[in-house]
Structure 1
């Protein structure tokens, strides 16, 4: 009886793993830790991703992790994206992190909060190739305390 239960459990696990391993998620995410949770305006969160299907639509997200001690309800960011063979295109973004009435947005555990905010839904990239990005904080505080990490996420629809 023990052997049968173990055998069936093992077979079920193998079937589930084989079915889930066949589906490949078209997701890119790069998060960068902020040294000592003090984000200097000169510190750049950098990365690059490859676009192979320029006909597809993509959703892009900004990802931010902060402590409960962060003293603002938002953060201003400069997001720069460089298409292949082109110059950087900058966009200033006011990213809400919480409200006085409802508290922090996103998910939290103890005093750490993470927010994945949709930046652009259904974006189409003009040409395939390597795209570079840079995220910097453009708040008045320099360094900006309480920010643990920042990043960029891209999902193919």
Structure 2
């Protein structure tokens, strides 16, 4: 076997081993497609994020990602975001996500007739228990189904250490 082939095999084995090891969370991001680009009340996307004990020393910024067509008929979207802490009950919170300014211009980045938004819903959140956090999104607009919503997603990123905490290597 040539050195090149050995290098490829070794790199592949390292990737397999590394993918089996739990990793500290720096950023979590996942986007899910809305079936038929029509978001019904019954469709409730779920995002699960697992934090290791060393992840609990940090503060986190939480965002909702929305991708929609230019033909989306509203300047905002209301969601009920339910957060379930490890071994806890879901805590629902109704949030408004602005998608356009007062003149009707989309706030997100656009390409052709598709716009993407990353909207902060919580800054410096405390996620202080190790385990799996479950976030459920429900569209909470008057129209059902809600047309021209293509994807919805969750992004969580570290915002720094909590006060009086030390990073665990």
- TM-score in terms of structure 2 length: 0.76
User: Retained in 1: the 8 A contact 2:67–2:115?
Assistant: yes
Mapped partners of 1:27, 1:110: distance in 2: 28
Residue by residue over 1:2-61, the C-alpha shift from the partner in whole angstroms, topping out at 9 and shown as x without a partner, is xxxxxxxxxxxxxxxxxxxxxx97110111100111000110111100122212111100
- Superposition RMSD in Å: 1.4
Instruction: Select 1:97's aligned residue among 96, 99, 104.
Output: 99
- Note if 1:32 corresponds to 2:26: no
Structure-2 residue corresponding to 1:137: 139
Instruction: Select 1:80's aligned residue among 82, 94, 109.
Output: 82
Cα drift, residue 117 of structure 1: 0.6
Alignment of 1:8-157 (within 5 A): 26-52=26-52, 53-101=55-103, 103-157=105-159
Q: Which runs of 4+ in 1 moved over 6 A?
A: none
Residue by residue over 1:102-153, the C-alpha shift from the partner in whole angstroms, topping out at 9 and shown as x without a partner, is 5001100000000001111111113111101100101011000010010111
User: Retained in 1: the 8 A contact 2:25–2:51?
Assistant: no
Mapped partners of 1:102, 1:143: distance in 2: 22
Mapped partners of 2:94, 2:49: distance in 1: 21
Partner of 2:57, secondary structure, is coil
Cα drift, residue 77 of structure 1: 0.3
Mapped partners of 2:51, 2:158: distance in 1: 10
Structure 1, unpaired ranges of 5+: 1-23
Partner of 1:41, secondary structure, is coil
Cα drift, residue 99 of structure 1: 2.2
- TM-score in terms of structure 1 length: 0.82
- Give the aligned length: 134
